[in-house]
Structure 1
Amino acid sequence: MGKASYKKLTGSQNLRQRLVLAALASTPVLIEDIRAEETWPGLRPHEVSFLRLLEKVSDDCVVEINETGTKLKFKPGIVMGGRNLVHDCGLSRAIGYFLEPLIVLGLFAKKPLTITLKGITNDPKDPSVDTFRSTTLPMLKHFGVPSEGLDLKIQSRGSAPQGGGEVFLSIPIVQSLTAVNWTDEGMVKRIRGVTFSTRVSTQFENTMVYAARGIFNLLLPDVHIFTDHRSGAQAGLSPGYGISLVAETTSGCCISADTAISYSRGEETVELEDEEKKDLMPPEDVGVKMANVLLGEIEQGGVVDSTHQGLLFLLCALCPQDVSKVRVGKLSPYGIETLRNIKDFLGVKFVIKPDPSTGTVILKCVGSGLRNLSRRIS
């Protein structure tokens, strides 16, 4: 075997996605200048935790980090999957940060993946575990992922800054995905949602539900928002509350919006320490705000919301060598970065066509034809 040639990249942006694409394309990468100019240079705790997670689900994967953490060598191995794995995600990012890449890798693993992730289940930065359950997993079914063995259970909730949450994820394996022609977003037929509260009064949830319903019921009758109050060991270690809303359309699309309110982690930056002293947003305002955010997402059009654009493009690029066509609203910065990374690693280019009549964008691509070679054909 000759010496592996490393693909050279710089900077810390989209590190997680670059590593996932490197693993899927079996491309060794060398990433330099990771936050080299910042006060705290190098990899952040959640990025190191993500690398450890990659090692856990892969065989023969090599990770080398220099002393300052500003240079990373990653040589992907075979994604093995595996049963009853456990990973502590730490407290610098929520479990949502780890779920998206894990889901994509799990589909192309050698064996089905079942894993328990521990940490923060809901925070304002990453999609909440509720959104993954109500929106992300159903989205996979459009690409031919079987519902059997696709599951996400919330064992206990954990708000920032102390976490204490736990979720159980199981992902089936596929031979290959199915190309999609998914351009009809349909009309919204119902709204579903869930509010959660940990270590605060249950009244917080009722207030959020009442406030959100007050807006939705002016528009459609079928609105149902569940409450999920946890106490004792299931409530994690910090007080917090939040809401996750999903609009289901007549054509089977799910558009979501979510947020969580809790005290911030004091150590990240000086700004956050000032925030700590502020009062938390009242539950009524949270309900109203998220209802409006969801309506904004629906107004943009498209078959997924702006949070899910990156994942949608990635799944299209991993499809067989067939044309996939999807419609999204305004391209999000994360969506644009994803398109660049896909071109970089998989060589898949998207044709992007604005549709002025609806203000949406139609994207077409021919998939890279990724097949799960390690899976036995039954």
Structure 2
Amino acid sequence: MARSGRALRWEGSRSLRMRLVLSALSGRAVRITAIRSQELNPGLRDFEASFIRLMDKVTNGSRIEINETGNLLQNSLTLWMKMFHLSSLLTQSILSVNLVQLVALLGSVSSVLILRQRIVDSSRHQDLSSLSKVDTLKVTALPLMKRFGVDGDGLELKVVRRGMAPGGGGEVIFSCPVRRFLKPVQLTDPGKIKRIRGVAYSVRVSPQIANRIVDSARSILNKFIPDIYIYTDHMKGANSGKSPGFGLSLVAETTNGTFLSAELASNPQGQGSPVLPEDLGKNCAKLLLEEVYRGGCVDSINQSLALLYMTLGQQDVSKVQIGPLSPYTIEFLRHLKSFFQIMFKIETQPMEEQKGGEKVLMTCIGVGFSNISKTVT
């Protein structure tokens, strides 16, 4: 199913990782020029170059050309590429969540990745793909993957070390079983909120910081639901990374297995104004309640992942109800059309049937992606 034809062309550095991942999956070559051409330091940044090297390592049959100013002249990756068995993978970039989670689709054997956070681009420290956000990904993205058939005992995301910006030093282990194809889904009823769980983490600061975060978050959430448990995680020594910091990850679970999340972390050392633990806890709790109001069967940060899995699914109808489309999701839909020539049917739920914010029902027929490198048993 590898697609032939001329390369897709873009200008600028916007959505570069998204375009590279979709290029790998669709088999469409991309040509990206004028990367930061108007800046004093044009071309690729270090974290982007690291991501490109990572793509080259985990793929077979890729050809990447970069000129002197850092423009990607060609990124040609075969759709049915074979993934290497990754027993240890180091990256100095903020790793793309999509690439990690798609190892399950492309791998020829079950994969285990060790991701170490050595350098963090401080301007991107709130990116959910950074290693400091693994708590949220663990309790939202992994259950979503199971809905699409990526399940089994081998699916795990484990925090070994916590790294906060700007020094980093975090480490996580991601393991995933191989699946030949993705299942179509019908996720149209998110259910009602039944409990809230969370983790307040702190590194290289007083352990009492995490307790203060928990107390302030509960002061807001206790008015909403009684079943709340937020545990504290204070790592010491070598497991505490290289920079001080703290944060809170909250997840609301519904009766139908939907997970809605929110997460906040303190500002990097030496950047921005200091954040009080009490303020962080209250603000994160309010963000979670806002996410509950938005609703849907997938939370905001996983909208694009769900739409991608629907696109790659079998040639059958998939339906997922989500909250209002985020700006990133809207751009992602445009890219799915460019790479896969697929369009979603978007239906707005009638106002009298809505609970909370506006909901949309996303419907599509998958392209029939199949992992031919997986041995048939």
Tell me the distance in 1 between the aligned counterparts of 2:374 and 2:28.
20
Cα displacement string for residues 181-228 of structure 1 (whole angstroms, at most 9, x for unaligned residues)? 101111110000111111000111001111111111111111011111
Tell me the distance in 1 between the aligned counterparts of 2:46 and 2:292.
35
SS at match of 1:141: helix
Q: Which amino acid aligns with 2:273?
A: D
Are the counterparts in 2 of residues 42 and 71 from structure 1 also a CA contact under 8 Å? no
Tell me the distance in 1 between the aligned counterparts of 2:359 and 2:222.
26
Gaps of 5+ in 2: none
Tell me the distance in 1 between the aligned counterparts of 2:63 and 2:103.
17
Are the counterparts in 1 of residues 187 and 297 from structure 2 also a CA contact under 8 Å? yes
Q: Which amino acid aligns with 2:115?
A: L
Alignment partner of 1:152 is 2:150: no
Aligned-pair distance for 1:278?
4.4
Runs ≥4 residues deviating over 3 A: 120-123, 276-279
Aligned-pair distance for 1:348?
1.2
Distance 1:8 1:124, change over 3 A: closer
Aligned-pair distance for 1:6?
2.6
2:86 maps to which of 83, 108, 111 = 83
Q: Which residue of 2 aligns with 1:115?
A: 113
Q: Which residue of 2 aligns with 1:272?
A: none
Are the counterparts in 1 of residues 347 and 361 from structure 2 also a CA contact under 8 Å? yes
Q: Which residue of 2 aligns with 1:136?
A: 141
Are the counterparts in 2 of residues 118 and 164 from structure 1 also a CA contact under 8 Å? yes
Distance 1:277 1:51, change over 3 A: closer
Q: Which residue of 1 aligns with 2:101?
A: 103
Cα displacement string for residues 51-72 of structure 1 (whole angstroms, at most 9, x for unaligned residues)? 1111121122222111111334
Aligned-pair distance for 1:148?
2.1
Q: Which residue of 1 aligns with 2:255?
A: 250
Q: Which amino acid aligns with 1:154?
A: V
Tell me the number of residue pairs that the alignment of Structure 1 and Structure 2 aligns: 360
Q: Which amino acid aligns with 2:127?
A: K
SS at match of 1:228: strand
SS at match of 1:84: coil
Q: Which amino acid aligns with 1:361?
A: V
Aligned-pair distance for 1:153?
1.0
Q: Which amino acid aligns with 2:88?
A: L
Under a length normalisation based on structure 1, what TM-score does the superposition of the two structures give? 0.91
Tell me the distance in 2 between the aligned counterparts of 1:376 and 1:113.
14
Aligned-pair distance for 1:14?
1.4
Tell me the distance in 1 between the aligned counterparts of 2:41 and 2:302.
30
Aligned-pair distance for 1:38?
2.5
Q: Write the mapping of 1:348-363 to structure 2, written as runs, cut at 5 A.
A: 348-357=342-351, 358=354, 359-363=358-362
Tell me the distance in 1 between the aligned counterparts of 2:240 and 2:233.
10
Aligned-pair distance for 1:16?
1.1
Q: Which residue of 2 aligns with 1:38?
A: 39
Are the counterparts in 2 of residues 35 and 70 from structure 1 also a CA contact under 8 Å? no
Under a length normalisation based on structure 2, what TM-score does the superposition of the two structures give? 0.91
Tell me the distance in 2 between the aligned counterparts of 1:13 and 1:171.
29
Q: Which residue of 2 aligns with 1:285?
A: 279
Are the counterparts in 2 of residues 65 and 72 from structure 1 also a CA contact under 8 Å? yes
Q: Which amino acid aligns with 2:360?
A: V
Aligned-pair distance for 1:88?
2.2
Aligned-pair distance for 1:98?
2.5
Alignment partner of 1:307 is 2:308: no
Tell me the distance in 2 between the aligned counterparts of 1:45 and 1:4.
31
Task: Report the aligned-residue RMSD.
Answer: 1.8
Bigger mean CA deviation after superposition, 142-151 or 230-239: 142-151
Alignment partner of 1:367 is 2:352: no
Aligned-pair distance for 1:294?
0.6
Q: Percent of aligned pairs with the same residue? A: 42
Q: Which amino acid aligns with 1:239?
A: P
Tell me the distance in 2 between the aligned counterparts of 1:6 and 1:58.
19
